Amino acid sequence: MTFRTSIAVLVASAGLAGTPSFLLAQHDQGHGHAEVKAAETFDDAVARIRLEVAELQQLLAAKSVVAAHEPANAISQLAGQLGRLALKPGSGVAREKIRDANIAGKDLAKVASQMHDAADKNDAAACAALLPRLNALVAAVGVFAPEKWVCDMHCEPGTSFDGPGTCPVCKMAYKPISQVPYSASIVASPNPVMPGTKTDLTVRLIDPAGNPVKNLAIVHEKPLHLLMVSSDLSWYAHEHPTPRPDGTLTLPDFAFPAPGEYTLFFDFTPEDKPQQVPQYKVKVQGEAKALVPLVEDYDVVGKVDGYEFRVRCNGEKFMASADSIIRIGIDRDGKPITDLENYLGALGHLVIISQDLKQFVHSHPMDMDDAPGHGDEADGHAHEGAHAGHDHDAILNLARASESLANGKPADVVFHAVFPKPGLYKGFAQFQHQGKILTFPFVIDAQPGDASPHDNAAPAGQGHDHLQSGEKK
């Protein structure tokens, strides 16, 4: 059985523009970095650098230090392109300032690379020391591409301004566009939403400037993955609304099962932009039942439609801030299932959501047959440079070692995740076998752990020394 690679991590992040409010990391390549697409223009590169810096600061503030190596890597790569982009006709950089822009870009790339290395080592003090210099250099390159400002209430959709000011409609101060997140909303018909009643849901996705998001990349066969949970995570749905020419998407005849509040996560990727996962709350009328408490149960065999599932971990606890290998075994009639079918472009999907609904990941299986130092080149996502096999090899070796656990089997589907802080998380694993979609829920209580990267890879669930966290989706 062949598994495709996914390095997936969890981290909380709120109010971040250009990245999701609840950041999701989903990397379909071997190394622990998402692919950084080359910028087309100088302004585009600087705008993306600003978004990555906003994410990096959010991650450091959340003490998800290792997660910061992802945006730091993106900043370094984008900054390294600024000199070339400044030379392009129509770049907006005055001829006599091209040299200055090039030098500022190189300096920023160097400091961002240092930030990457410090984050990769989970060195919070070094990251904090580098941050003022990083921000100063971002401001230096920003001189050549001034940032636009907008009203984050979108009182005048599509309107931007050259600097600070006050919105004449809502009287709120304008914000830099890099600080305004993508958002999503739902219009329900009929409204109010009643339990058990078929309801047509219309989804509207909005960019930071207030414009409808119309051009979505197809990711795992769909433009939008809509993940929905009840407030206590006892109910879960994974749906795919259909796009319409006006940019909205529709999900007809959907019925919420019971009264209460539901959280919707919109997993989408605008063309040429980072992955987004804004959220929206839907209230279903009626008296909500008592919440079902989460209880850790990952080491208990679960039975779904005649199949037996187990998160294979040999009884060891999962640790926060450490690489966790989640092996999901699927048996039927006492024999392992070895002929799973692809579902939405992958052999499996694993969504993990924290009890407080602030951490989220959408992960896909690792490629256990991958060679050391290589990414998934078939998807064009292999990484260049000496660092290309670093995280990947350590995590892959960790995953391979986990097969030797007492209850590990070669046919297990293997995922990688990092729990950014201690607490309860609920996972929803989905697979397809003989045309049937199987959903297996389980609960993990991530324990406090002291992790530092890449040292002493340990079996799945044990507190080994690697913290990698990042929430982009």
Q: Based on the domain organization, do 186 and 275 belong to the same domain?
A: yes
The answer to whether position 115 is within a domain reads yes
Higher per-residue pLDDT: 144 or 450: 144
Please choose, from the candidates 65, 29, 137, 62, the residue with its C-alpha nearest in 3D space to the C-alpha of residue 387: 29
CATH value at residue 130:
1.20.120.290
Q: Based on the domain organization, do 135 and 198 belong to the same domain?
A: no
CATH value at residue 220:
2.60.40.1220
- pLDDT of 329 strictly over 70: yes
Q: Based on the domain organization, do 77 and 123 belong to the same domain?
A: yes
The answer to whether position 233 is within a domain reads yes
The answer to whether position 59 is within a domain reads yes
Q: Based on the domain organization, do 121 and 213 belong to the same domain?
A: no
Using one digit for the tens of pLDDT, what is the confidence trace for 276-290?
899 999 999 999 899
Q: Based on the domain organization, do 141 and 204 belong to the same domain?
A: no
- pLDDT of 308 strictly over 80: yes
Whole-number pLDDT of residue 314: 57
Q: Based on the domain organization, do 112 and 200 belong to the same domain?
A: no
Whole-number pLDDT of residue 444: 93
The answer to whether position 259 is within a domain reads yes
Whole-number pLDDT of residue 409: 76
Number of domains in the chain: 2
- pLDDT of 324 strictly over 70: yes
pLDDT confidence of 233, banded at 50, 70, 90?
Answer: very high
Whole-number pLDDT of residue 192: 94
Average pLDDT over residues 199-220: 92
Whole-number pLDDT of residue 197: 96
Average pLDDT over residues 171-195: 91
Least confident of 78-92, 312-326, 442-456: 442-456
Using one digit for the tens of pLDDT, what is the confidence trace for 46-83?
988 998 998 899 888 877 787 788 899 999 999 999 99
Average pLDDT over residues 241-266: 95
Domain end position, chosen among 99, 121, 146: 146
Whole-number pLDDT of residue 121: 87
Whole-number pLDDT of residue 190: 94
pLDDT confidence of 432, banded at 50, 70, 90?
Answer: very high
Q: Based on the domain organization, do 69 and 124 belong to the same domain?
A: yes
Whole-number pLDDT of residue 394: 61
Mean pLDDT of the chain: 80
Using one digit for the tens of pLDDT, what is the confidence trace for 406-423?
566 788 898 888 887 899
The answer to whether position 430 is within a domain reads no
Whole-number pLDDT of residue 25: 38
- pLDDT of 367 strictly over 80: no
| Domain of residue 211, residue span | 181-284
Domain end position, chosen among 235, 267, 284: 284
Average pLDDT over residues 176-199: 92
Q: Based on the domain organization, do 66 and 139 belong to the same domain?
A: yes
- pLDDT of 170 strictly over 90: yes
- pLDDT of 372 strictly over 70: no
The answer to whether position 60 is within a domain reads yes
- pLDDT of 256 strictly over 70: yes
Instruction: Please state, as a whole number, how many other Cβ atoms lie within 10 Å of the Cβ of residue 287.
Output: 7
- pLDDT of 84 strictly over 50: yes
The answer to whether position 187 is within a domain reads yes
Q: What is the pTM of this model?
A: 0.73
- pLDDT of 348 strictly over 90: yes
Higher per-residue pLDDT: 161 or 382: 161
Least confident of 229-243, 326-340, 438-452: 438-452
The answer to whether position 61 is within a domain reads yes
Domain end position, chosen among 100, 128, 146: 146
Using one digit for the tens of pLDDT, what is the confidence trace for 105-137?
999 999 999 999 999 888 999 999 999 999 999
pLDDT confidence of 391, banded at 50, 70, 90?
Answer: low
Q: Based on the domain organization, do 67 and 125 belong to the same domain?
A: yes
